Amino acid sequence: MPRARTERPAILVVNPGSTSTRVALFAPERGSVRFLAEHTVAHTARALARFRRVAEQLPMRARLVERWLAGRDARLAAVAGRGGLLAPLPGGTYRVNAAMLRDLALARRGEHASNLGALIANRIARPRRIPAFVVDPVAVDELAPEARLTGLPEIPRRSVFHALSQKAAARRAAAALGKSYARARLIIAHLGGGISVGAHRGGRVVEVNNALDGEGPFSPERAGTLPAGDLVRLATSSKVARAALLRRIAGRGGLVAHLGTNSLLEAERRARRSKRARLVLDAMAYGVARAICAAAAALDGRVDAVAITGAMAGSRRLVNSIRRRVAFLGPVFMYPENLEMVALAEGALRVLAGREHSRVYRPRGPRKKT
């Protein structure tokens, strides 16, 4: 692999997943960032089996990232990590601080691989005396007050979604319209293992489904919103244990439950000969389209554009099925490429270049329910 050479300091981005850690280098260039190099560090099940908690993986993962960096000819200006399950906060670029590190290390709002993003970024940045950031974490919460309430006061709606991907797509859609993100009225759908659909107004996501818990459309791995009465009856029966039911809702639902696979490619292959597979895929597309149309209510029906991003946005079959149902709302933009890595670098650059002030993490809001 060729060595990445930079004349100016580069931005390192770190995106931890459940079985891998993706890293990349970007160079600031003309107000944007230029890709330099990327690498995915795979972690085998055996290597991860010895860790009881996600935070215990920090030394191992950070060491492997440092090993990759040692082979690059690049000076670092900053490190940006994927944000994890933090307290609810507004979108933006946050400088990693002690409160953030403490919350993520203790997994106060849940165990998730993304919790390692800030921890690894800090581990690499601190000895170099450069800033470490997280950008638009999954815990971004900008819901309008009326969007928080449900019919039961003790169960308010939560905002946990693909904020990094959605806001990156929203900025691109706004630019395509000749508008700033703050002045655009957009609906963004992220289509991945989980699906989130958000209404963006005034630079804020005022309506979005909780993709972590499986709310909204069903996806390759999540069951989506379910009939409440039937779910309660299933949960209180003796047939399904609590942990198993939670796993079915988020992990073993959606395409996995219907077709036994979380692969859209495999599901589409089966759909060529199976009416059942075709129906399941049509139902998933319909669910996304329905969520997009519902999100228009949060924008008073005045929608500048719809944008679709995420890994499944590259599926012509799925996207066309969604597009024909939502095109009446306005232009539909497609961003099938993975925007998360470049979005991390762009968020750090906005602060380094003085176009945006870094935010301070001050934890508020409820911790994870047990």
Residue 157's φ and ψ, nearest 5 degrees, are -75, 145
211 and 311 both lie in a single domain: yes
What is the signed CA dihedral for 34, 35, 36, 41, rounded to 10 degrees?
A: 150
317 and 279 both lie in a single domain: yes
- Asked whether residue 233 is domain-assigned, the answer is yes
48 and 134 both lie in a single domain: yes
Residue 248 confidence (pLDDT): 87
- Asked whether residue 2 is domain-assigned, the answer is no
Residue 299 confidence (pLDDT): 98
Model confidence at 240, in pLDDT bands (50, 70, 90)? confident
190 and 263 both lie in a single domain: yes
Residue 347's φ and ψ, nearest 5 degrees, are -65, -45
Mean pLDDT of the chain: 92
Taking only the tens place, the pLDDT of each residue in 286-330 is: 999 999 999 999 999 999 999 999 999 999 999 999 999 999 999
- Asked whether residue 365 is domain-assigned, the answer is no
38 and 97 both lie in a single domain: yes
Residue 365 confidence (pLDDT): 52
99 and 216 both lie in a single domain: no
37 and 155 both lie in a single domain: no
- Asked whether residue 364 is domain-assigned, the answer is no
- Residue 263 CA: distances (Å) to CA of 186, 224, 275, 281, 335: 28, 17, 18, 12, 20
Residue 369 confidence (pLDDT): 46
Q: How many domains does the chain have?
A: 2
159 and 207 both lie in a single domain: yes
Is the pLDDT assigned to residue 6 strictly greater than 50?
no
Taking only the tens place, the pLDDT of each residue in 194-227 is: 999 999 999 999 999 998 887 999 999 999 999 9
- Report the CATH number at residue 327: 3.30.420.40
**Residue 110 is part of which domain span?**
10-139+341-352
Residue 370 confidence (pLDDT): 39
Taking only the tens place, the pLDDT of each residue in 118-134 is: 999 999 999 999 999 99
Q: How large is the average pLDDT for residues 272-284? A: 97
Taking only the tens place, the pLDDT of each residue in 62-98 is: 999 999 999 887 899 999 999 999 999 999 999 999 9
Residue 274 confidence (pLDDT): 97
Is the pLDDT assigned to residue 1 strictly greater than 70?
no
Percent residues over pLDDT 70 in the chain: 96
299 and 197 both lie in a single domain: yes
Mind spelling out the 3-state secondary structure of the chain?
A: CCCCECCCCEEEEEEECCCEEEEEEEEEECCEEEEEEEEEEECCHHHHHCCCCHHHHHHHHHHHHHHHHHCCECCEEEEEEECCCCCCECCCEEECCHHHHHHHHCCCCCCCHHHHHHHHHHHHHHHHCCCEEEECCCCECCCCHHHHCCCCCCCCCCCCCCHHHHHHHHHHHHHHCCCCHHHCEEEEEEECCCEEEEEEECCEEEEECCCCCCCCCCCCCECCCCCHHHHHHHHCCCCCCHHHHHHHHECCCCHHHHHCCCCHHHHHHHHCCCHHHHHHHHHHHHHHHHHHHHHHHHHCCCCCEEEEECHHHHCHHHHHHHHHHHHHHCCEEEECCCCHHHHHHHHHHHHHCCCCCCECCCCCCCCCCC
304 and 160 both lie in a single domain: yes
Higher-scoring residue by pLDDT: 264, 47: 264
pTM of the model: 0.89
Residue 251 confidence (pLDDT): 86
Model confidence at 107, in pLDDT bands (50, 70, 90)? very high
Taking only the tens place, the pLDDT of each residue in 322-354 is: 999 999 999 999 999 889 999 999 999 999 999
Percent residues over pLDDT 90 in the chain: 78
121 and 151 both lie in a single domain: no
Q: How large is the average pLDDT for residues 150-177? A: 95
- Asked whether residue 367 is domain-assigned, the answer is no
Residue 292 confidence (pLDDT): 98
Residue 184 confidence (pLDDT): 98
* Cβ neighbour number for residue 294 with a 10 Å cutoff: 15
Higher-scoring residue by pLDDT: 44, 344: 344
- Asked whether residue 210 is domain-assigned, the answer is yes
18 and 87 both lie in a single domain: yes
329: left (phi over 0), alpha (psi -120 to 50) or beta: alpha
Residue 20 confidence (pLDDT): 86
Model confidence at 7, in pLDDT bands (50, 70, 90)? low
Residue 64's φ and ψ, nearest 5 degrees, are -70, -35
- Asked whether residue 358 is domain-assigned, the answer is no
